[in-house]
Amino acid sequence: MSRFWTQALAIARRDLIVEGRSRETVAVVVPFAAAAVFVVPFATDALDVRLATLAFPVYWLVGLLFGMQVALRQSAMETPSQRRQLALLGVDPVARFTGRVLSAAALVLVVLVVTAPLVLLFYDPEPIARPWSMAGVLVLFALGLAMVSTLAGDVTAGLATRTSLAPLLIVPVSVPLLLGAAQALESVVRGRTTLPWVLTLVVTDLALAVTGVVTARALEESNT
Amino acid sequence: MPGPIVMLDDVSVRFGPTTVLSGVGLQVEAGMVVGVGGRNGVGKTTLLGVIATLVPVAGGQGRVLGAELGTDGVRNIRPRIGWSGHEPSLYDDLTLQENLHLTADLAGLSREEADDALGRVGLAAAGHRRAGLSSNGMRRRTDLAALLMRRPDLLCLDEAHAGLDEDADAIVGALTDLTCRRGGAVVMVSHDAARLRAECDEVLILDSEAP
């Protein structure tokens, strides 16, 4: 295995072990995401609004907002002394970015996978003919959200306004991800081709990946 | 190793509008232990950051391990620099051994070397303990084990002796000797003037002339 992938996988493994033991994300964010799915129907007029029509929008919004929280928590886990140590170990900034994106994407996927059955249970949406065809869409959405959150986390690292500024940076950039994922799911339900929306996700992910690669070194220098 | 390991000439550092260091000159030759002293807040750790190539200079020039400060060349020599401070850079939720394995993986070293280094600092039997549940002394020893494993050519010690027991203090001493014997050098920051005088070949005392 190349040095790059050894470093990237070591960083991802570190993040997932830390999360597996601290359970900060799973124990804090996922229950709130589940609660959000549960409480939305109480904010609607059940006589006028058919809950099934809200199912997919609620799913993607919860996925976006809580997935963003997960990825942001991941990007904040390194202390200044740990960042200094990574720089002095010669860790490739792009490998570090890749590793953190992989671990954050895995945790965003956990949020999406846990909330999916809850949405099906509470909202009873139209059946999805080929649910497995959504697996790729979920992965692309999770990767994109992980990349934009990791970038925003690095840009705002050390700022007192980080917790409010980072989401403001993430949400606008996430619009193509939200659009692509939501329309892909809608296309599956309607029996239409998902290709344009999958391509939207792929292009957005590629643009974010290029941004991450190009800025990784500068962001590392500014944060060590 | 041709030329000095560290050469700083009239270096200054600014954080925003504040001048933190001004007109600092320093030369560290192979085999030397150089101390940096001065009052709290005078910029000792910042100077160590400059020497470790992590803090950008606003003025003056310098070379570290042959790489000119402020150029991309410093990225190549960073793996040859070791840093130990009073705050260990361990991950609390990883065990001491996992922390060292992570360092080995990232530095391109073998995990056997990591286990060997853990044994050399007397923590072979405690490697399974989570860093966050270990004593500060154990955490500091693990940090030192990482340096024993990496064998840096330039060792930066930032108050590295503070809070260490006698045995751990001896590990810092052994690490310093080892680095110098291999042709490297050590820069030691401390507010303990007596220690600097006793352990260093030269001592630079910073004052706070900068506004």
| Residue A91 at interface with chain B, using a CB cutoff of 8 Å | yes
Residue A49 has what pLDDT? Answer: 67
The first and second tokens of residue A165, run together, are: 């500024």
pLDDT, residue A141, reads 95
Tokens of A185: 């799911």
Residue of A nearest to B70 (CA): A221
* Long-range contacts at B115-118 (CB < 8 A, ≥ 24 apart): B116/B149, B117/B145, B117/B146, B117/B148, B117/B149, B118/B142, B118/B145
Alpha-carbon distance of A52 to A88, in angstroms, equals 53
pLDDT at A190: 85
Are A14 and B91 an interchain contact pair (Cβ–Cβ within 8 Å)? yes
- pLDDT (tens place) for every residue of chain A, 224 residues total: 799 999 999 999 999 999 999 887 778 888 888 899 988 888 877 666 678 888 888 999 999 998 888 877 776 778 888 999 999 999 999 999 999 999 999 999 999 999 999 998 888 888 787 777 789 999 999 999 999 999 998 888 877 787 788 888 888 999 999 999 999 998 888 888 889 999 999 999 999 999 999 999 888 888 77
Residue linked to tokens 């949400």? A171
Pairing state between β B202-205 and B33-37: parallel
The pLDDT of residue B209 is above 60: no
- Distance of residue A133 Cα from the nearest chain B Cα, in angstroms: 37
Residues from chain B that touch A3, judged by Cβ atoms under 8 A, are 108
Q: What average pLDDT score do residues B135-159 get?
A: 93
How large is the ipTM?
0.90
- pTM for the model: 0.89
CA distances from A218 to A93, A104, A188, A215, B51 (A): 9, 21, 41, 5, 19
Cβ contacts of B85 on chain A, cutoff 8 Å: 81
Other beta carbons within 10 Å of B182: 13
Residue A129 is given by DSSP the state: S
Q: What is the pLDDT of residues B149-186, one digit of tens each?
A: 999 999 999 988 887 888 888 999 999 999 999 999 99
- What is the reported pLDDT for B164? 81
pLDDT in tens, B15-38: 888 899 999 999 999 999 999 998
- Flag if A90 and B79 touch (Cβ within 8 Å): yes
Q: Which two tokens stand for residue B162?
A: 């503070």
Each residue's pLDDT tens digit, B77-120: 999 999 998 788 899 999 999 999 999 999 999 999 999 999 99
B 88-117 residues with CB < 8 A to A = 88-89, 91, 93-94, 98, 102-103, 105-108
Q: Which residues pair with B21 in a beta bridge?
A: B13
User: B81 to chain A: which residues are within 8 Å by CB?
Assistant: 88
Interchain proximity A88–B130, CB inside 8 Å = no
Which residue, among B53, B84, B87, B93, would best test binding to A if mutated, counting the most A CBs under 10 Å from its CB? B93
pLDDT of residue B210: 47
List Cα–Cα distances, B103 to A33, A46, B53, B163, in angstroms: 35, 56, 20, 24
A85 CB within 8 Å of a chain B CB = yes
Instruction: Indicate yes or no: CB of A17 within 8 angstroms of CB of B93.
Output: yes
> Does A160 contact chain B (CB < 8 Å)?
no
Residues of A in contact with B150 (CB under 8 A): 89
pLDDT of residue A161: 82
A81 touches B: beta carbon within 8 Å:
yes
State the smallest CA–CA distance between residue A206 and chain B in angstroms: 26
Please compute the mean of the pLDDT values over residues B124-150 and round it to a whole number.
93
Interface test with chain A among B54, B106, B187, by most A beta carbons within 10 Å: B106
Residue A59 CB burial class (10 angstroms; 0-12, 13-18, ≥19): buried
pLDDT of residue A139: 96
| The pLDDT value given to residue A47 | 62
